[in-house]
Structure 1
Amino acid sequence: MARGDGEEGGHCKRGRGAGDCKDNDDGENGPDKRCRVAAGSTCDDGEAGDDGTGDYNISGDETDGDGDGNDEDLIYYYSDDDEEAEVGASTIRCDDKRYVVLSEDDVHDRQAKDTAEVAEVLSVPPGFAAVLLRHYKWGKMRLKEEWFSDDRRIRDAVGLPADGIPVPMARSRRELVCGICFGRFSPGEMRSAGCSHYYCDECWRGYIHAAVDEGPRCLSLRCPNPACAAAVVRELVDAVADGADKDRYARFALGSYVDESGGRIKWCPGPGCTHAVEFVGCAGDDATDVLCRCRHGFCWSCGEEAHRPVSCATVRAWLSKNNSDSASAIWVLVNTKHCPKCRRPIEKNQGCNNMTCRAPCGHRFCWICLEPLGVGHTTCHAYRPRLDNVVVAGGNGVPAEEQRRQQAKASLDRYLYHYERWAANHRSLQQVLKDMAALDRSELGKMADTVRASATDLRFLTRAYEQIAGCRRVLRWAYAYGYFLDPVRDAAKRRLFDHLQSDANRSLERLHGCAERERKQLCAVAKCASSADIAGRYRSYKKKLENLTEVTQRYFENLVKAFETDLAEVKPAK
């Protein structure tokens, strides 16, 4: 998805003249308007001329596909809301941005700020404040309200002492006996968790090490005495644990700010990503896509990869379909026939039609007519109605087994059609993400040197790739939506779906081709061109890619809205 830091491109005005708009009353496309954008159309930035969306000629001239220099009129569909669209916002925008991406440092700073605030307000040490906040899932307001209502009850519930000393040392003048190793130690070598049970530093170190090995549960560690519920706080861990255990404990403590936030903050599930996402709006009950800084998109509601415009329920059904054995069972039904004697499914993998079933059956029969092979098998290719195993209810004289096979084949073909396109867009998305990573690493810098532009000026290229990635996600999951349209009941929706998908693919491929193929052409020509020539070509390419990005963004936003409303403009079948 494109981020909101881009420049504002040109919005085409509606009106008479070179670019006119009219209502589209052809039924299936709903209440959208149809705008014919021609060469010389007026744009918001006050410039007249090409809209930048024609085919780009690497010579620096913009021509139509025939190369005659005359721009062919381009038709784009948009709704009245398009004029409110913000250029450079999220690729598939929500009504407002409802989440914030946090780095590990951001999470650490927020955690430290919340802990310090609670420690100051409640007049407790930071270690105590952290224990209290974890108990209340880092909800500061509820903690404060209940603390000032009955602080003694809260202390007892979380195991905090009343005197407010996080790591009390023994004050006796004589040696004390460690409750674990039973060794004698001076009072300065004995510590407790705020209770009356003192242990030597070495035993504390081993006790904490064993707890840290068990994972985040170490954050709820209590006094080694089984009868004592005193909490082991961060100050005690820092005082006695070795370096590795202190680091691991700190990682668990940092993670608790996200993991125990009650779902308000979540870690990005992207491979190797350490960012977290805080949701600051109303999540709702259905799909809410989130795009992390690592460019991994995921759904806030279900945790799967970003899947607008389809619902979480549709995603679950589709993934279940992909992971189930039903597809294999359908393939067996379509591509095999049953032995007429033992009913075992048989796949024909050679050219001969004379089949022999495996032992112990051994039945020999004809693949075409399923009749036994023998001297009398001479009428295989002559039409002869079969009266056995016929579907009487249908009245069409088709054998029941053959009808089931035909239905299964149609079902498999429909599934494979949608699955292949779903998978193809996923592969394209992965390639786009690799290309974006390459741009970040070195390609943008190389292009900046080649076309003699600044890296900042090349942000339009990054936005275009982010737009492409977002559109690939939409197209991918739109095919899952299409699969669950009933071929008969939703026939009208299916026709509109196919039309919208086809237009969306064309729009996206045009943008993708400009961002990828024409960029490489520009860089190749720029290596041996003059400075003035390079500048002209670069400006032309930049204008075209920015306009294509904007047009594609608007189209896909309307596409998402159409699918999310279940193509509401199509009247339900009677």
Structure 2
Amino acid sequence: MEDDDLQRPYSVCTRDDLKERITKQIDVISEIFCVSNSDATVLLMKLRWNSQLLSERLSQENKKLLTESGLKPVDVTDSNQDLSDSSCDEFYEFFDDVDDDGDDVVKVSTPFCSHKFSTTYWSKYLDKNFFSVEKTLDTISCPHHDCGASVGRDTIEKLTVKDRDSYDEYVLRSYLEKSKKQIKQCPGCSYFIEFHKGTDAEEYGLNVVCLCGHNFCCRCSLETHRPVTCNNASDWLSRDLQKLSEASDKSLSFLWIEDNTETCPHCLSPLEIGLGSLDSKFVPCGYCSGSFCWECMHSEESHKTESGTYGDCLEPVEQDPLWNVEVVDTSCLDRWEACEVSLVEARSELQAFKESDNTSEEYIRIVRDGLMLIVQCRQFLKWTCVYEHIHLEYEASKKEFLRFLQDYANTLVERYAETLKEDTKALSAAQLVCNVPAVTSSIGNYFYNFSKALKDGLDAVKVKHYDDFAPCWLCDRCSSANTWLHKACQMCCESPVVEAK
């Protein structure tokens, strides 16, 4: 365990570390109660790796426990019967091509029964019913449907290397299954995160940093998403993000049409006009063949005088929009995308950092911790955009304050990155120790208070109570009254707007 792990509520361990721990637990039970390692493994798996409970039961009801676990000899009607050649109905239904031909095929049975099967049969049976199944079972039993003998390592050792490796992984899965509240695998690598005893993984698992640099949430296995909940993060990634992207693309399309086209006053079709190539101010419509003036939007006929010449333009026509499009604020999406770019850059710098033989361990630790801190800050800033979208859609004052906090936080992170980069070039641990910790403390305190403010709902911003407002709002265009539940004027819309729930 590293020194940093003592300061955090969790530690990072490898697959080999867990396997070594499992082996020690098996050896202790085997030595104290004089059972084989194979039997000790079977017993621990059956009792969900609870060594204390297993010790009590072995002391008080040894024979009963061994019998229940299939670790006592099983009576067989005909011990010489080759069950591999029996009807497939007596075994698992998927074995219709059960056995190999020839008398030289090695037959394997458990130490507690005489039901012999070929190694090929064993491999298929174990893979189909245990190794390839997502859920681990407490006991692996003999393939014979009436046999309760347990299959342990002593039987597996007689099979192929692949079967032995698969069994080791199965035992590890069993151990992780009972420890799933305290041990989580990093989604970005093969490391495991183990929370210390007495630590609530649900509380402290929202922001876990693995040695590989990946930040994730232990509750939902998504990337760290503070300050929003797991459900909010899931909804954003699976639904809201796509909707906002589509709304943004749609808005850009309508803006382009509005800026680059004119509406024919005859048929109301949008026409793209290249004003630089026009010979006159009158534009022919390609849809209805009518002609109109692109300056005042009146027809060509209305410009003609009694003498047949063209007069001055008339008063410009105020055109209504072609579509009643609900305006969607996609500014949080723009900020999300900008933060994502910064986060990718921060992760790239962390992955690009290489340890040098010419630098001390303290220097390497400070630089790596600094780069990881930048990644965490960038990730937090990215998810504050989601917080804004979910909680502050109708609270302009709080939204403005949040964006101020975001901008200031972004400035702090950039300054911290510059300080770290400059001191890193100096290749001096003394200079890093002198400059970086002070800046680290400053940025750490700011983000702590930033996170706390969001958790409290930005209570520092005083918002007027709804009782101070009128029961409705008036449309600027038609002066119609609308309830606060409507985002757009009901009179101006061609179709009713669905009320917000």
Would you call these one fold, judging by a TM-score over 0.5?
yes
**Does structure 2 retain, via aligned residues, the 8 Å contact 1:222–1:229?**
yes
* Match for residue 143 of structure 2 among 184, 200, 224: 224
Q: CA deviation at 1:296?
A: 1.7
Aligned residues: 411
Q: Deviations over 1:385-408 (max 9, x none)?
A: 56xxxxxxxxxxx76934x24x13
**What is the aligned partner in structure 2 of residue 472 from structure 1?**
378
User: Residues 399, 383 of structure 1: CA spacing in aligned structure 2 closer, same or farther, 3 A cutoff?
Assistant: same
State the partner residue of 1:430.
347
Residue 84 of structure 2 aligns to a residue whose secondary structure is coil
SS in 2 for 1:229: coil
- Match in the other structure for 1:32: none
Deviation at 1:232, TM superposition (A): 1.0
Instruction: Summarize the Cα distance change of 1:364–1:502 in structure 2 as closer, same or farther, 3 Å threshold.
Output: closer
Letter aligned with residue 136 of structure 1: L
Give the one of 197, 200, 208 matched to 1:282.
200
Match of 2:357 in 1: 445
Match for 2:350: what amino acid?
L
In 2: Cα distance, 1:365 partner to 1:507 partner: 48
Instruction: Give me the whole-angstrom Cα distance separating, in 1, the residues matched to 2:68 and 2:80.
Output: 29
Quick one: which amino acid aligns to residue 445 of structure 1? D
SS of the residue 1:266 aligns to: strand
- Distance across 1 between alignment mates of 2:200 and 2:54: 23
**Distance in 2 of aligned mates of 1:114 and 1:349:** 72
One-letter code aligned to 1:226: H
Contact 2:416/2:439 (<8 A) preserved: yes
Residues 312-321 or 457-466, more deviating: 457-466
* 1:69 aligned residue: none
- Cα distance in 2 between the residues matched to 1:470 and 1:329: 29
Between 176-185 and 463-472, report the one with greater CA deviation: 176-185
Structure 1: gaps spanning 5 or more residues:
6-88, 91-95, 338-346, 356-361, 387-397, 449-453, 524-534
Q: Which one of 39, 49, 64 corresponds to residue 128 of structure 1?
A: 39
Q: Cα–Cα, structure 1 residues 287 and 494, in superposed 2: closer, same or farther, change >3 Å? A: farther
Structure of greater relative contact order (alpha carbons < 8 Å, 6+ residues apart)? 1
- Cα distance in 2, alignment partners of residues 383 and 487 from structure 1: 37
Q: Out of 525, 540, 556, which is 2:447 matched to?
A: 556
2:19 aligned with 1:108, yes or no?
yes
* Residue 401 (1) aligns with residue 323 (2): yes
| 1:491 corresponds to 2:396 | yes
How far apart are the structure 1 equivalents of 2:229 and 2:464? 22
1:142-541 alignment runs, 5 A limit: 142-143=53-54, 155=66, 158=69, 160-162=70-72, 176-181=80-85, 192-199=109-116, 203-214=117-128, 215-217=131-133, 220-238=139-157, 240-271=158-189, 273-278=190-195, 280=197, 281-284=199-202, 288-321=206-239, 324-325=242-243, 327-332=245-250, 334-336=252-254, 348=257, 353=262, 365-366=270-271, 373-375=288-290, 377-378=292-293, 379-380=296-297, 383-384=316-317, 401-402=323-324, 404-405=325-326, 407-408=327-328, 411-412=329-330, 414-435=331-352, 438-440=353-355, 444-446=356-358, 448=359, 454-488=360-394, 490-520=395-425, 522=426, 539-540=430-431
The answer to whether the Cα contact below 8 Å between 1:266 and 1:277 also exists between their aligned partners in 2 is yes
- Counterpart check, 1:546 vs 2:428: no
> For residue 148 of structure 2, what is the amino acid of its counterpart?
A
Offset, 1:510 = 0.9
User: Structure 1 CA distance, aligned partners of 2:398 and 2:261?
Assistant: 45
> Could you report, residue by residue, the CA deviation over 1:256-296 in whole angstroms, capped at 9, with x for unpaired residues?
3224434332222113x243434531234686222222222
Alignment partners' CA distance in 1, 2:142 and 2:432: 68
User: Structure 1 residue 543: deviation in Å?
Assistant: 1.4
Mapped to 2, the partners of 1:517 and 1:322 lie a distance apart of 40
Q: CA deviation at 1:550?
A: 2.4
Q: Distance in 1 between matches of 2:58 and 2:242?
A: 52
Check whether the contact 2:216–2:224 (CA below 8 A) recurs between aligned residues.
Answer: yes
Which structure has the greater CA radius of gyration?
2
Structure 1 residue aligned with 2:50, among 139, 149, 157? 139
Which secondary structure state, in structure 2, belongs to the residue aligned with residue 303 of structure 1? coil
Per-residue deviation, residues 507-539 of structure 1 (Å, max 9, x unmatched): 11111012224533x36xxxxxxxxxxx8xx74
Q: Tell me if the contact between 1:426 and 1:472 (Cα under 8 Å) persists in the aligned partners.
A: yes
Residues 544 and 234 of structure 1: CA distance in aligned 2, closer, same or farther (over 3 Å) = same
Higher mean alpha-carbon deviation, 495-504 vs 561-570, is at 561-570
TM-score w.r.t. length of structure 1: 0.61
The separation in 1 between residues aligned to 2:63 and 2:241, in whole angstroms, is: 53
User: Aligned equivalents of 1:383 and 1:149: distance in 2?
Assistant: 99
C-alpha distance in 1 between matches for 2:259 and 2:406: 39
Judged with a 3 Å threshold, the aligned counterparts in structure 2 of structure 1 residues 352 and 568 are, in CA distance, closer, same or farther, namely closer
Change in 2 beyond 3 A, CA 1:143/1:325: farther
- Find the aligned partners of 2:241 and 2:385 in 1 and give their Cα distance: 17
Residues 539 and 233 (structure 1 numbering): CA distance in 2 closer, same or farther, change over 3 Å?
A: closer
Change (3 A) 1:501 1:207: same
Output one character per residue of 1:418-460: Cα deviation in whole Å (capped at 9) or x when no partner. Answer: 322331232123223223xx323xxx335x3xxxxx3445533
AA aligned opposite 1:236 = T
Q: Which moved more, 1:190-199 or 1:261-270?
A: 190-199
Residue ranges of structure 2 left out of the alignment (5+ in a row): 87-100, 274-282, 299-314, 466-501
Match of 1:82 in 2: none
Secondary structure of 1:543's aligned partner:
helix
| Structure 2 residue matching 1:377: 3-state secondary structure | strand
Distance change in 2, residues 1:131/1:540 (3 Å): closer
Deviation of residue 241 (structure 1)? Answer: 1.0
* Percent sequence identity over aligned pairs: 21
Give the distance between the partners of 2:339 and 2:58, measured in 1 at CA.
Answer: 53
1:301-353: CA deviations, max 9, x gaps?
1111122333222212221246535532552255149xxxxxxxxx8599665
Q: Deviations for 1:163-182, whole angstroms, at most 9, x for unmatched residues?
A: 6x9xx9x9x9xx94432158
Shift, 1:212, TM fit = 4.8
**Distance of 1:354 and 1:141 partners within structure 2:** 82
Cα distance in structure 2, aligned partners of 1:418 and 1:557: 21
The CA distance in 2 between the partners of 1:103 and 1:153, in whole Å, is 37
